[in-house]
Structure formats: C-alpha cells, structure tokens
Structure 1
C-alpha cells in the first residue's frame, strides 16, 4: 500500500510558531526528511521510532540535490510509509515544495500541504516592522535575491519605482548589488531599509539604514544569513514598535 507525504512548513525559527497541524503530522510520521533551519525543539516532536533524514542546504553546499530529495520522498512513500517533509518557513514560499508536490503527483502518491509562517512576514513582525500600514504602504512584494538581477521574472526596475514595501529573501550575498540597482532604477537613496537576521530566534539581530548605507552597516556589524531584507517607509516604525528581545525566545 502506498504511503502519504506531508509537505510541512516549520515556520521561521521560533518553535512556538509551529502550527498544531504540523505537530500532529510529525507525530504520525515513519520518516521525517528535514532542512537545515528547523529548530531542535521542533525536531523533538518526531516519534522515537521514526527515521530522520537530513537534507539541509547552504550556499554551494547541498546535502542532496533537489532531484534526489524528490526521489527519496517517492521511494519512502511507495514503501507504504508516512513521510513528513519538514521545511523552514512555508513549503510554497521559496521552499521548492511545489516541485516536490509535482514529483509526488506524477507518481500518484497522496500528499498534503501544511502551510507554515513565512520568515517574509514573521521576521519583520518580530522586528516591529509591519509590512502594511494605512499611511505608509498599502501592500508588499516578496521576491528572492538569491540570483539578484538575474532572478528569472523578477521586475527589479518596476519594484524600484513601487511605493509598496519590498521584502527580499535570500539576498544577503547580493545586498550591495541589490541596493545599487534599486537606486539606479529610481528608488530614493534615503529609503529606509532593515536587515533582520535569524528572525524570531534567540539569535535575532536587526540592522537599520537606508538604501545608500545598509550594505556598509551590515558589513560593519558582520550580519550573516539567514536574513530578511525589508525596504520601505514601514521600516521607520522599528524604533517605536520593536518588542522582541532575543532572551524572549520561546522553548517548547
């Protein structure tokens, strides 16, 4: 009998933000295939009898290629096992969950998507930065900075001229290039920018500047990924609304 696969979002890092449904799915699992940024507190929900398979990825260092991860999910499910594919954030927000779901669908394997809280929303919130505000921004864009200006279909020239909040994930390696190009495409150099690293966790750090200064500020403070970059006037509210301190991080 064919098993089933749960494609689960583990949230942004704070274990308290894991959904009840995600916890329930983990507790049913025979196999859990998990990523690098999943916290130990969340892994503690995995049953003792379940196999754990680490497939974490860092820049230029992938434990398994994506195609092999998909083959692994298919293989385990065809053996009749209940499989949880545990990803940081949300599986359908730059988590490659859609590709894994396609691989499962192609083999007729039952699967379920369990949404998680994306760092695109959670990290700014824990830094006291709302993505929308009645007088500052009526909407927001979320894009990847992983390949910067070469990201397929990312309209950087349009985003530069937008008055909406811009949230950039996986952009730390290209931060100087991103800020320079946004300015060159017409975004004001004094536009507020925040970089939130390790958002929602005990390692959270927030650096605030402008498009013209943020790259230097990040370098000076030696800020490392994972980090979320927020561009827009809503960043001004950080000083007034920041509420979370690292020593407030929850443990389950």
Structure 2
C-alpha cells in the first residue's frame, strides 16, 4: 500500500498539470481574441483574396486573348479561301512564293524578277578583274579632263582629220568655254585613254569630240554639221547652260556670205 508521502506528491503533480493546462488554454484564447492576432488574420485573408482575384482576372484575360486570336485566324482563313475561290473562278493567274498558280492549280516556273533575271545589279561585274592602279589613274585623269570644258577634242597631233576638226571648232566658231584639246599621242596615258574612250563611246579613232561626255563623232561628222549650219544648234542643245557663248566668227561669216554670192 503506497505511503502518504507518495500520495501527496502524486496529488501535487495532478494539480500542477491541471493548472498548466488551464493557463495554456486561457493564454491561447486571449491571444486569439487580441487585436494584433485579429489584424494579422484579417491581413492574411485579404492578401489571399487579392491573389485569388488577380489569378482569376489573369485567366479571364488569357482566355479572351486566345479567343480573339482564334477568331482572327478563322477570319483570315475564310478571307483567303474566298480570295482563292474568286481567282480560280475568274481563271486569273496569281503568284505565290515566287511561282505562278494557274486556274487548275498547276505551277509554272518562278516569276521573273531581280533574283531570277540577271541577279543583283552588281552580279554582272562578278567575273570582272579588279581595277589595277593604272586603270584607276586613267579613270581619274579622264574625269579631270571632262571637267575642263563642256566640249573636249581627243586628237592626235599628226592626224589630218583631227586638224580639220580643231580648225572648225577653234577657228571658225567662238565657243565659251573654249573646247579643250587632248593630244593622245603626247599624253603619258594616251593609249589607255583611247582604250577607255572606246569602251565608253564606242569610238576608238581620232578625233573624238565629246560634249558633256557624249561623243558627237569625228572630223567628218563635225565638217558635215558645219556645212549644213547645224553645228551650233547641236552644241547648244547638248551642252545647254554649260556653253556660255556659241557663235560663228564674223570673219568666217563674211567669207561664207561672199562664197554664196559668187
């Protein structure tokens, strides 16, 4: 049979447990009823509600966007279908992806364009040899010569046809600016200049008279224009405002008048 001391200790333990339990229960109840606890719970509930609302709105927007996108695709497909049906009904040809589609759906070769006709503009120079230093020098010199005067006479000092052309342009006419003469047989780049003139004007022989870079012929052509009184009109028409003055010299006019009178 247990002693009285043990019974007392056991009883005290029971009382202590009951007191602690009552204290914990009361403290918990007080905490739940406190203003801080209530505000914290309210804030958490509000946050959860806002997140749920945003998620619902986001889902609604995504659904609407997807629905609008699907509707746009359907409309585009219907429009394209109507277009192809109208084209097929009319028997016209249409081009799709660079190919012609006929009424029966057959495809022909690519439609002609930059990519199928000659390629890019620079493709025609793809096999051309790089420009040498001498070629560049000739190009620069020719451009410099063409700036000297609107009328350029490419000549050779010993050529009789060149002398005839120079006599007509320099002595029979008063041209301002005066035609600039280049004696190819005396110019250090003469042969190369003559070759370049052949490429640009199609004329290699001298004289070669250029007006604003365009050839009007040689000695025979100049003589014919002079005798038919068409030289001034030709020069003025081609040179325009670059030719400040162009007239037949008075001495030549008088001699010409006398020859006609005789």
Please report the TM-score for the alignment, with normalisation by the length of structure 2: 0.19
Higher relative contact order structure (alpha carbons within 8 Å, sequence separation ≥ 6): 1
